[in-house]
Copies of this chain bind each other. A is one copy, B any other.
Amino acid sequence: MPDANKEYLLGVDLGGTKILTGVFDSKLEFKGEAKLSTKADRGVEAVIERIARCVKDAADECDLNLKQVRGVGIGAPGAVDTESGRVIFAPNLPGWKDVPLKKELEKLLDVPVFLGNDCNVCTLGVFDQEFKAKPKHLLGIFIGTGIGGGLIINGDLYCGHNLTAGEIGHMVIEVNGPKCGCGNRGCYEALASRTAIFRKIQTAVKDGQKTILTEMLGDSLADMRSGDLRKAIRKGDKFVEKVVAEAAEFAGIGVANLINILNPEVVVVGGGVIEALENEMMPTLVKTAKDHVMPGTMNGIEIKASKLGDHAGITGAAVLARRGTA
């Protein structure tokens, strides 16, 4: 039962399309959640109000009122000044430039708010919740619509000079490769993200490729999700299997690059694509990474799939809130 003390931590995962809020007790045990669409096109103020609403909904879902909440953590997609609590810029949220999100949310909620970059926050969640013996250096890679990363160095989040470290999704790994949303070609996320996989499938289908996916979803493949790929592969669709395997290979090459550069103790791979396709992708990803690293660099280094799945963001945000209010 919820008690009257401020014993709860709320974690918010602010994305380009949805806002997810999780309720956790002080031991970081998950208690419940609420979800809202972001409606980013309605502008900054409207989105901030929706975040506040989602936070209130989540508390209500768990029969809590905000007076029982010690702190709210929030992971936002973009460059974030954690100290001032400002979103410096967020490419997927139109109009978000130098937004004092912490201050605005504290006004609406009357609870202390702590802000971080979404992938850093996910990495923090993974680091805090998935390891008893804490690795000294950990790299988190999150493969979804795009690809993002977070770095723990010497046991602490590393954010770099402009607080943008971990933009691994725009590491070029195939100079003349497919066009990326950022304008470059052959970025990691143009080759190994859900967007990359879906585009490849849709292009092939337009060119006459047969796949079980069109039976499942219709010829336009609208509303295709990562889980549909898993279903198609398990039904024996060799084409989808091949496209997913190619993405896993690219994912592994990116992991090898990052191990060569950063030599972390652990690489944790998460995000929606890995959550849906762990069994289909991880063996190829790990093998490709091992085949591509320099000799000696992989000794004792573990590459593993995150167990937190879709909860990495809200869990990490709750960890952020716990750290902030400790």
0/1 per residue, A166-208, Cβ < 8 Å to B?
A: 1110111111110000101010000000000000000000000
**What's the nearest-Cβ distance from chain B to residue A293, in Å?**
8
Given A173-B175, A182-B294, A294-B167: A301 touches B161 (CB 8 Å cut-off): yes
Given A153-B153, A161-B136, A301-B162: A170 touches B294 (CB 8 Å cut-off): yes
**What's the nearest-Cβ distance from chain B to residue A101, in Å?**
16
Copy total for this chain:
2
Verify B172–A256 contact, CB threshold 8 A: yes
Verify A264–B184 contact, CB threshold 8 A: no
CA distance A166 to B297 in the complex (A): 10
CA distance A201 to B71 in the complex (A): 62
CA distance A5 to B173 in the complex (A): 54
Verify A262–B296 contact, CB threshold 8 A: no
Per a CB cutoff under 8 Å, which of B137, B170, B250 touches A260? Answer: B170
Verify A175–B172 contact, CB threshold 8 A: no
**What's the nearest-Cβ distance from chain B to residue A58, in Å?**
31
Q: A residues bordering B, Cβ < 8 Å?
A: 79, 88-89, 91, 136-137, 149, 153-154, 158-168, 170-177, 182, 184, 186, 250, 253, 256-258, 260-265, 292-301
Inter-chain pairs besides A165-B262, A175-B186, A184-B292, 16 sampled, C-beta below 8 Å: A79-B296, A89-B295, A136-B161, A137-B160, A149-B261, A153-B158, A160-B263, A162-B263, A162-B301, A172-B292, A174-B176, A174-B186, A175-B250, A257-B257, A261-B261, A261-B262
